[in-house]
Amino acid sequence: MTGGSRAAALVTGAAGGIGSATARRLGAAGYALLLADIDEDKLTSLAEELANEGIDAVCARSDLSDEASWEALIRTTLDIYGRIDVLVNNAAWRVAGSLRSTTSDSWEKTLKICLTAPVFLAKAAARAMEQLNSGGVIINISSVMAERPSGLAPAYMAAKGAINNLTRELAVTYGRSGIRVVGIAPGYIDTELSNDYVDPDGENISARLISQLTDFIPLGRGGRPEEIADVIAWACSDQASYVTGTTLTVDGGFQPNFNPYSVKKLQYPEEF
Is residue 188 flagged as an active site residue? no
Q: Residue 265: which pLDDT band, with cuts at 50, 70 and 90?
A: low
Residue 4 is predicted with a pLDDT of 42
Q: How far is CA 110 from CA 38, 88, 93, 226, 248, in A?
A: 15, 18, 6, 25, 22
CA distance 181 to 128: 15
Q: What is the pLDDT of residue 256?
A: 87
Average pLDDT, integer, range 238-247: 99
Per-residue pLDDT tens over the stretch 212-221: 788 889 999 9
Residues 159 and 238: beta-carbon distance below 8 Å: no
Give the C-alpha separation, 253 to 218, whole Å. Answer: 6
Query: Bridge partners of 184?
Result: 141, 248
- Tell me 97's DSSP state: S
* Edge-first strand listing for the sheet containing 179-186: 57-61, 32-37, 8-12, 86-89, 136-141, 179-186, 246-250
pLDDT tens-digit map of 33-61: 999 999 999 999 999 999 999 999 999 99
Task: Quote the CA–CA distance of 97 and 201 in Å, as a whole number.
Answer: 12
On the question of pLDDT at 2 being above 60, the answer is no
pLDDT of residue 5 exceeding 50: no
Of the candidates 31, 156, 174, 197, the residue annotated as catalytic is 156
DSSP code per residue over 29-85: TT-EEEEEES-HHHHHHHHHHHHHTT--EEEEE--TTSTHHHHHHHHHHHHHHS---
Q: Which residues pair with 103 in a beta bridge?
A: none
Domain ranges within the chain, ordered by starting residue: 8-265
Residue 145 has pLDDT above 80, yes or no: yes
Q: What is the pLDDT of residue 195?
A: 62
pLDDT tier at 272 (50, 70, 90 boundaries)?
A: very low
pLDDT digits (tens, 9 = 90+) for 180-199: 999 999 999 987 766 665 55
Residue 64 pLDDT level (bands cut at 50, 70, 90): very high
- For the segment 116-141, the average pLDDT, to the nearest whole number, is 98
271: left (phi over 0), alpha (psi -120 to 50) or beta: left
Contact, 226 vs 18, CB < 8 A?
Answer: no
Note the pLDDT of residue 201.
Answer: 57
Query: Hey, what CATH topology would domain 8-265 get?
Result: Rossmann fold (3.40.50)
Question: How distant, in Å, are the alpha carbons of 11, 48, 144, 192 from that of 153?
Answer: 24, 34, 13, 16
Q: Which of 57, 51, 49 shows the shortest CA–CA distance to 31?
A: 57
pLDDT at position 191: 78
